[in-house]
Amino acid sequence: MLRLGDFIGDRIGWNRYLKPFMYEKLPSDMGWLTTLGSLCALIFMVEAATGMFLAMYYNPSPELAYESILYIMNDVTMGRMLRGVHHWGAGAMVILVFVHMATNFFTGAFKAPRELTWVVGVVILLITLGFGFTGYLLPWDQKAYWATVVSANIPGDIPVIGDFITRIMLGGDRVSGLTLTRFYAIHMLLLPGLMGLCIVLHIYLVRIHGMAGNPAVKAPGAGKEQAEPRTEATYRFYPEHLSKCAVAFAVVLSVVMLLAFFCHVPLEDMAGTLDESYLPRPEWYYMWLFQLLTFFSGSSEVVGSLVIPAGGILILILMPWLSRTNFRRVSDRPLATAVGTACIIGIVYLTIMGFAGTKPYGKIIPVPDRELNLSEASGLKVFVNRECAYCHNINGRGGRIQGPDLANMVRKKRTRDQLMKYIRDPQSVSRWSIMPKYDLNEKDLISLADFILTLDFKTNRMRIIDREMALEVAGGNQRE
């Protein structure tokens, strides 16, 4: 028996490679935060396992995708649970990767010699978000479909190659069955492969440079000569660290399973169901970006959709080289700490704002403080009756910010014809527009456009009226 153990140990390199790996001493002075990295890897394995079982029943075609989800939910043994764990596990993974990253940011763990560990970590974050993005379309429900339509819009802002990127992404010029198989292949093959590679690389790098440990314990600038942990008790990868991870993972997994059991994973109507008032909503971890987009419109849209996200990713990647000092303690890095905190507060704020997007709309209407002529007044009436405020503000008031502020139309020098054309068929002007078509008669279109063209608050003062007054203004003028 002993000899068999020796044989295997020798042949698989236990003594030479695996044993030192398992019993490696680690700094233990970060407490439970050190388990975050392992938690990310473990929850990824849960996603891989549940994903594999889901794939056995899932069918990536527009005709059957939605039905196969229903089948998984209603007929497959434990199917509802399977989908639930995959869904909530994905959310947990995004949170864990984000918190792991934030911890390493605030403890300065990304500094030399761990720059590359950090960069691979950023790539892992991006892959995680890629999983979320591609997985979102697979149920092929309304939410999935529209979120993809909206995001496919985004590369369109890039000059010259934007359209090309959209085509590559969608496999054509609109979301179709080709998009679905494409996303499925990426979600099932490309991303898991990349992720596996990155995790191995990340762990390898963590091991060769050692864990960074708590900056408050080690003097700043202390390098490898202090690699030996200061704490008296030995803290090794196995068994001390792994058992700590096991406890933390048991907690995370229980939460995910409880959510899967008690909270229902949303599945809306099948994609393509006709619903004019459907409002696209992204998955919660993209909400802040979605919300950011609504602050920019027209030619500045590219700032929200491209410049800020791409700049943010670039800054994240370059982080280790942006700060030259080797200080790691929070108190020694006031600027980095302040900027990091501000970003997190900003993201949380935008997320809350995004979910609060269900706030009331259309109760008040900002209008120019002057007599409206007949056409303008009846345009106001159409505006109210057709609930344009559901998506549009006027001069920052009265509506929601799904679409651009209509007070910007004069500034953008829109003509009446352009506005009419847009409102009648938005997609004919901007291919990926999410604005519904409005089947209005010529007269209503003209007055609506005329009304929008009065919304020029440089030359007029603004007056706020309520819904009833708006309808009265229109009615009153018509009697003249």
Q: Which residues are near ligand HEC by CB under 6 A?
A: 279, 298, 386, 388, 390-392, 402-404, 409, 414, 418-419, 422-423, 426, 430, 433-436, 438, 448, 452
Q: How far apart are the first and last CA of the chain?
A: 105
Residue nearer to ligand HEC on the CB measure, 9 or 436: 436
Q: How far is the CB of 133 from ligand HEC (least distance, A)?
A: 19
Q: How far is the CB of 247 from ligand HEC (least distance, A)?
A: 47
Nearest CA among 98, 53, 49, 90 for reference residue 72: 53
Residue nearer to ligand HEC on the CB measure, 169 or 419: 419
Residue nearer to ligand HEC on the CB measure, 3 or 458: 458
Residue nearer to ligand HEC on the CB measure, 199 or 452: 452
Residue nearer to ligand HEC on the CB measure, 94 or 152: 152
Nearest CA among 470, 53, 21, 458 for reference residue 237: 21
* Whether the Cβ atoms of residue 189 and residue 134 lie closer than 8 Å to each other: no
Residue with tokens 């009697």, as numbered in its chain: 479
Q: Name the 3-class secondary structure at 154.
A: helix
Q: Name the 3-class secondary structure at 359.
A: coil
Q: How many Å apart are CA 202 and CA 120, to the nearest integer?
A: 6
Q: How far is the CB of 390 from ligand HEC (least distance, A)?
A: 4
Residue nearer to ligand HEC on the CB measure, 82 or 409: 409
Among left, alpha and beta (phi > 0; psi -120 to 50; other), residue 281 is beta
Q: How many Å apart are CA 166 and CA 163, to the nearest integer?
A: 5
Residue with tokens 């008296």, as numbered in its chain: 232
| Length, in residues, of the chain | 480
Q: How far is the CB of 479 from ligand HEC (least distance, A)?
A: 24
Residue nearer to ligand HEC on the CB measure, 177 or 436: 436
Structure tokens at 472: 């009265």
Residue nearer to ligand HEC on the CB measure, 207 or 467: 467
Q: How far is the CB of 294 from ligand HEC (least distance, A)?
A: 8
Nearest CA among 63, 57, 425 for reference residue 272: 63
331: phi then psi, degrees, rounded to nearest 5: -70, -20
* Whether the Cβ atoms of residue 344 and residue 438 lie closer than 8 Å to each other: no
